[in-house]
């Protein structure tokens, strides 16, 4: 290995990743697509400069370790527990179904059982990086949809880690005999348990103490170096002493650090090289691409693309619907998972190193990943039109049967709902955040009985504890609104500023109860005119209310009289909220 080769591979690899990553970002695609394209460009199967694959793979291995540490750092056990009833069975069902269809597809293409199984495992996992980016761009990362999607990915990550542990045992032993995988799996899981307990118990006490002493030096370089040394030491010890993958050891180290007070600093300051090495990992994967895949493996390529883009979302949506989730939510979560990413390559790369996966498989995976990641934003965008189409086909039927149960949109209702109250004394509130909670309290104190519609099951329990009537369901669906008693209410209040499908919700509510007074909270003033046009009576825009509050505060600080403040408030209201 020459120093020149090392520097050239790193410089051209990172430079190409920067160039193509920026280009794909400008096109609205994930930068990962650009990194993979950069690998294709500097790979041995395209003309021009060819990077040193051995060097790239060595740096990529370090990138995998740091990538897994980052996954562990953000592994939220509490978040998983909040949505475990959906994500654990749902993600397990989806991964199993994707695995089975991938297995039999590979077998139909003439692959061996072992190669088919490894390939099927590789395509069962979605990209945490891509899904997180899609949810963040859609402002859904902190919503119920985002919580379920992230919980789903966490379950996939855990399953992927287990696969990485078991994969080396799928190769025959020295005598050429296939080992007892069930026994090996039991032993491997036991080893994982021992390592997890050791790292969590010992590391949970030792690592924070070490980080605290180093942090006291106020040296960012020493803190960064400490994190890197700890990660590599735990990864190597896990591999050499317990025979499990270094990636798993790095993941567990990330979990320990993530539970400490230094988690944020580790995420921000201590991993300046993580992204660079992770980029080299994707570049090294792109170098494996061979255009021959379009001629020699076109059948496998087409089938795998369909499984990833259509099959995985279908099984996810089916699982969520079976678990009683609304159609719109199921679509948004399911279609966000329509791609493969980092874990798919980690599993496939290990399988290739163990001789379990042919080179053809890597060519297929690289091509499918580029296509699926590029299509991911469009797939997420399709969730709303598909849900609206299905809803319009069902709306007339639901309104006709009125209170007949609708299987795709189950709604739980608190037994404390007072059906006998007159319309003037009832209101329906969508959402139970700070605004919805305050409105419910004020209405209740003034003799108006509020019914709150919520998508979050845990929030529904809080609603009931506070003594209010609650309905669990998608407010954009007629059956949910009917179940909340909207046809006998005086007011409908959309208390959340980011309700998906607010326009459709207003239209449905107006169809059920033409006389109802609809009050809407929006984030931006530009949304106001459209919401009024589709049927809202009053729209309170956050931008306008903030401007009025700031103006009132400034006038009060300058010594304005109450009359002056009232006059300016009314003038501003007439200027800002022009009907």
Strands of 517-522's sheet, edge to edge? 412-413, 469-472, 449-454, 426-430, 491-494, 517-522, 538-541
The H or E element that residue 494 is part of is strand 491-494
> For residue 143, what pLDDT band results from cuts at 50, 70 and 90?
low
Helix axes 298-306, 359-381, angle to 10 degrees: 40
Distance between CA atoms of residues 148 and 329, nearest Å: 9
Joined tokens for residue 574: 């007439």
Q: Is the dihedral of CA 61, 64, 68, 73 positive or negative?
A: positive
Distance between CA atoms of residues 396 and 40, nearest Å: 52
Q: Region 489-511: what's the mean pLDDT?
A: 81
Q: Is the dihedral of CA 465, 469, 475, 479 positive or negative?
A: positive
- Do 347 and 164 touch, CB atoms closer than 8 A? yes
- Do 106 and 119 touch, CB atoms closer than 8 A? yes
Distance between CA atoms of residues 326 and 432, nearest Å: 18
For residue 348, which of 87, 42, 102, 90 has the smallest C-alpha distance? 102
Q: What is the pLDDT of residues 72-94, one digit of tens each?
A: 776 666 666 667 788 889 999 99
More confident residue, 114 or 139: 114
Q: Determine the Cα angle at 221 with ends 219 and 227, to 5°.
A: 105
β-pair partners for 541: 522
Tell the CATH topology of 407-536.
Rossmann fold (3.40.50)
Distance between CA atoms of residues 84 and 509, nearest Å: 32
The residue count of the chain comes to 579
pLDDT at site 4: 64
Q: Alpha helix locations (H) across 29-143?
A: 31-41, 53-73, 77-82, 84-108, 113-122, 128-137
Which CA distances in Å does 393 have to 295, 386, 390, 499?
A: 42, 11, 5, 22
Q: Alpha helix locations (H) across 430-541?
A: 434-445, 457-465, 478-483, 502-512, 528-534
Contacts of 123 (CB under 8 A, 6+ apart): 98, 102, 304, 307, 308, 312, 340, 344, 365, 368
Distance between CA atoms of residues 565 and 552, nearest Å: 6
More confident residue, 135 or 181: 135
From first CA to last CA, the distance across the chain in angstroms is: 72
Question: What share of the chain has pLDDT > 90, as a percent?
Answer: 9
Which of 30-44, 166-180, 279-293, 311-325 has the highest mean predicted lDDT (pLDDT)?
311-325
Q: What is the pLDDT of residues 565-576, one digit of tens each?
A: 878 877 777 766
pLDDT at site 408: 36
pLDDT at site 180: 59
The H or E element that residue 185 is part of is helix 181-198
Q: Do the domains 3-53+60-381 and 407-536 sit in the same CATH topology, yes or no?
A: no
pLDDT at site 97: 94
Q: Residue 524 phi/psi, 5° resolution?
A: -115, 150
Does the pLDDT value for residue 468 go beyond 80?
Answer: yes
> For residue 98, what pLDDT band results from cuts at 50, 70 and 90?
very high
Joined tokens for residue 37: 């394209």
Contacts of 7 (CB under 8 A, 6+ apart): none
Question: What is the chain's Cα-based Rg?
Answer: 28
Q: How far is CA 257 from the centre of its chain?
A: 22
Domain residue limits, the chain: 3-53+60-381, 407-536
Q: Region 98-118: what's the mean pLDDT?
A: 90
Q: How far is CA 400 from the centre of its chain?
A: 37
Q: Region 418-424: what's the mean pLDDT?
A: 51
Q: Alpha helix locations (H) across 199-219?
A: 204-215
Does the pLDDT value for residue 203 go beyond 90?
Answer: no
Q: Region 527-551: what's the mean pLDDT?
A: 81
> For residue 307, what pLDDT band results from cuts at 50, 70 and 90?
very high
Q: What is the DSSP letter of 36?
A: H
pLDDT at site 179: 53
- Do 489 and 514 touch, CB atoms closer than 8 A? no
> For residue 120, what pLDDT band results from cuts at 50, 70 and 90?
very high
Joined tokens for residue 191: 């080893």
Q: Residue 491 phi/psi, 5° resolution?
A: -140, 145
Q: What is the pLDDT of residues 153-200, one digit of tens each?
A: 878 877 887 787 777 766 665 544 555 556 766 776 777 777 777 777
Does the pLDDT value for residue 57 go beyond 60?
Answer: yes
Helix axes 246-258, 144-166, angle to 10 degrees: 140
Q: What is the pLDDT of residues 204-234, one digit of tens each?
A: 778 888 888 888 887 878 888 888 888 888 8
Contacts of 193 (CB under 8 A, 6+ apart): none
Distance between CA atoms of residues 324 and 474, nearest Å: 11
pLDDT at site 577: 60
pLDDT at site 285: 77
- Do 490 and 424 touch, CB atoms closer than 8 A? yes
Distance between CA atoms of residues 556 and 428, nearest Å: 36
> What is the pTM for the complete model shown?
0.62
Tell the CATH topology of 3-53+60-381.
Na+/H+ antiporter like fold (1.20.1530)
Q: Region 419-424: what's the mean pLDDT?
A: 53
For residue 304, which of 367, 375, 380 has the smallest C-alpha distance? 367
Q: Alpha helix locations (H) across 216-311?
A: 220-242, 246-258, 263-268, 274-286, 293-296, 298-306
């Amino acid at each position: 290995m020459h120093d020149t080769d090392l520097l050239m591979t790193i410089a051209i690899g990172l430079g190409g990743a920067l160039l193509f990553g920026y280009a794909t970002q400008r096109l609205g695609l994930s930068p990962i697509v650009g990194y993979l394209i950069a690998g294709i460009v500097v790979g041995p199967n395209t003309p021009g400069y060819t990077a040193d694959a051995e060097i790239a793979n060595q740096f990529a291995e370090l990138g995998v370790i740091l990538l897994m540490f980052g996954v562990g750092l953000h592994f939220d056990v509490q978040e998983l527990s909040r949505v475990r009833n959906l994500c654990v069975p749902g993600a397990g069902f989806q991964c199993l179904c994707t695995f089975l269809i991938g297995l039999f597809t590979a077998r139909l293409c003439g692959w061996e059982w072992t190669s088919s199984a490894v390939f099927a495992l590789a395509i069962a996992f979605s990209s945490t990086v891509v899904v997180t980016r899609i949810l963040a761009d859609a402002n859904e990362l902190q919503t119920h949809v985002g919580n379920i999607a992230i919980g789903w990915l966490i379950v996939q990550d855990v399953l992927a880690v287990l696969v990485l542990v078991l994969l080396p045992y799928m190769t025959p032993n020295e005598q050429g005999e296939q080992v007892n995988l069930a026994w090996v799996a039991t032993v491997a899981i036991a080893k994982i348990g021992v390592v997890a307990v050791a790292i969590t118990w010992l590391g949970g006490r030792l690592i924070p103490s070490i980080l605290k002493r180093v942090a006291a030096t106020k040296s960012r370089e020493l803190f960064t170096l400490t994190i890197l040394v700890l990660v590599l030491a735990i990864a190597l010890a896990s591999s050499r002493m317990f025979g499990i993958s270094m990636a798993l050891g790095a993941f567990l180290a990330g979990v320990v650090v993530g539970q400490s007070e230094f988690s944020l600093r580790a995420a921000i300051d201590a991993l300046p090289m993580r992204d660079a090495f992770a980029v080299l990992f994707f570049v090294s994967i792109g170098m494996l691409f061979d255009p021959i895949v379009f001629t020699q493996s076109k059948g496998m390529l087409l089938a795998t693309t369909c499984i990833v883009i259509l099959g995985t979302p279908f099984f996810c949506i089916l699982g969520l619907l079976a678990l009683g989730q609304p159609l719109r939510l199921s679509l948004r979560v399911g279609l966000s998972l329509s791609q493969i990413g980092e874990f798919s390559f980690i599993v496939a790369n290990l399988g290739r190193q163990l001789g379990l996966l042919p080179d053809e498989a890597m060519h297929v995976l690289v091509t499918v990943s580029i296509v699926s990641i590029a299509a991911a934003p469009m797939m997420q965008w399709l969730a709303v039109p598909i849900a609206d189409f299905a809803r319009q086909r069902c709306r007339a039927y639901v309104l006709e049967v009125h209170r007949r149960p609708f299987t795709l949109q189950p709604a739980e209702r608190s037994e404390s709902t007072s059906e006998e109250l007159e319309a003037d004394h009832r209101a329906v509130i969508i959402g139970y955040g700070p605004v919805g909670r305050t409105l419910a309290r004020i209405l209740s104190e003034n003799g108006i009985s509020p019914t709150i519609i919520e998508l979050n099951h845990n929030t529904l329990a809080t609603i009931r504890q506070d003594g209010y009537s609650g309905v669990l369901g998608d407010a954009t669906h007629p059956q949910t609104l009917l179940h909340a008693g909207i046809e006998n209410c005086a007011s409908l209040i959309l208390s959340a500023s980011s309700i998906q499908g607010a326009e459709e919700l207003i239209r449905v509510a107006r169809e059920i109860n033409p006389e109802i007074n609809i009050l809407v909270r929006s984030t931006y003033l530009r949304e106001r005119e459209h919401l009024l046009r589709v049927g809202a009576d009053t729209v309170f825009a956050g931008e306008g209310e903030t401007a009025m509050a700031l103006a009132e505060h400034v006038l009060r600080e300058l010594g304005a009289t109450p009359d002056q403040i009232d006059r300016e408030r009314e003038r501003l209201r007439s200027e800002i909220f022009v009907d």
